[in-house]
Amino acid sequence: MTPEPFRRKDLLSIRELSAGEILFLLDQTDSFREVNERDIKKVPALRGKTVVNLFFEASTRTRASFEIAGKRLSADVINLSATTSSTQKGETLRDTARNIEAMATDVLVVRHSASGAAHYLGRELRCSVVNAGDGCHEHPTQALLDLYTIREHKKDFQGLNVSIVGDIAHSRVARSDIAGLLKLGASVTICGPSPMLPAEAGCLGARVTTRVEEAIEGADVLIALRIQLERGAGANFPGNREYATTYGITRKRLKSAKRELLIMHPGPINRGVEMSPDVADGPFSVILEQVEYGVASRMAILYLLAGRKADEPAPSPPRLEEQAPEPAPLRRTEDALAR
């Protein structure tokens, strides 16, 4: 498998990407990680470009990391949430998005409860659209940062066993992760109570089990998922205590696990339900690494969509001091204010 340049207008799903495109996006993330380790975490790559985060659902990690990613690339970043936008007055998604585009927006990052919302906007708009999560459908940027985190630790996807445990039916993260992992050669097991396994489970290409012990045994990576009560999981949810007893990832349950098992979670975690605190914060957990790599991964995505012409080779990101004038020393600013 060799990387293939990512030359798309939008990033809408993992399912539509080739394995080569995914590898290319992971390789690009490496370059941007270096920027985040610098003293001055900023490069001028997207100076003069505008990124709008349009979120119709709650978010901490995705929205903050897209904002940080855009700002570290020197783009102008605007955040809009449904509760403070004119959708409250009845404006449609299409009208809202077209009005944002009319302000010469380069990239629209959208999260919406409707599956297909990002694809719809991708067709309607000339600017780039990034899917930051659409209903139960896909969360491609979460999958890219998950795949990057796994590759950092396991180096290769071939022969890797990845188990995903929890509310698979309502999880866009699971659908994107499964698609990406299978494309890159990993084997995937999905596990949860029957009502939380998707109707299409047999078509996803993953092994299916309702026994968490079976999912843990032989796994190299274990991804735990939150119960998505906001998407209707509550109708068949036995309650936190029963779920934790039957499916919660605890130290006791991990006694039969491989020694180098990687513990992941896309967040937010319901501690003590899908995962005990000592596992979430334990030595095999890479949950905060996922968050850290999410910024570099989203920098790579924004840069490839807005900062580079399709046939241009992807350079390593320039250092700020190579392209931008140094900021005026603070003392000079103080002198000017004192005058």
Contact residues for ligand CP, defined by CB under 6 A = 59-62, 133, 142, 266-268
* Distance, CA of 10 to CA of 164 (rounded, Å): 27
Nearer to ligand CP, 214 or 289 (CB): 289
Task: List Cβ neighbours of 161 (8 Å cut-off, separation of 6 or more).
Answer: 186, 187, 189, 218, 219, 220, 221
In the complex, minimum distance from the CB of residue 26 to ligand CP, in angstroms, rounded to a whole number = 18
Instruction: Give the helix ranges, DSSP H, for the chain.
Output: 19-36, 61-72, 93-102, 117-124, 140-154, 172-183, 212-216, 240-247, 277-280, 287-302, 320-323, 330-338
- We find the least distance from the C-beta atom of residue 123 to ligand CP, in angstroms, to be 24
Residue 104 region, left (φ>0) first, then alpha (ψ -120 to 50), else beta?
Answer: left
Q: How far is the CB of 59 from ligand CP (least distance, A)?
A: 3
**Number of helices (H) and strands (E), helices first, in the chain?**
12, 9
Q: Name the minimum Å distance from CB 142 to ligand CP.
A: 5
Cβ of residue 325: shortest distance to ligand CP, in angstroms? 35
Q: Which is nearer to ligand CP, 101 or 167 (CB)?
A: 167
DSSP designation for 319: P
CA dihedral 13, 17, 21, 22 (to 10 degrees): 50
Pick 232 or 315: Cβ nearer ligand CP:
232
Of residues 48 and 268, the one with the C-beta less far from ligand CP: 268
Of the pair 62, 105, the CB lying nearest ligand CP is at: 62
Greatest CA separation for the chain: 73
Report which of 304, 307, 310, 302 is spatially closest to residue 109, judged by C-alpha positions: 302
How many whole angstroms separate alpha carbon 308 and alpha carbon 311? 8
Q: Kindly give, in sequence order, each residue whose CB lies less than 8 Å from that of residue 189, ignoring residues fewer than 6 positions away.
A: 161, 162, 163, 164, 206, 207, 208, 209, 214, 215, 219
Question: Closer to ligand CP at the Cβ: 55 or 317?
Answer: 55
CB closer to ligand CP, 151 vs 265: 265
d(CA 53, CA 81): 8
Closest contact distance (angstroms) between CB of 130 and ligand CP is 13
- DSSP-derived 3-state class of residue 294: helix
Smallest distance, ligand CP to C-beta of residue 75, A: 19
| Min CB(177)–ligand CP separation in Å | 11
Pairing state between β 207-209 and 187-191: parallel
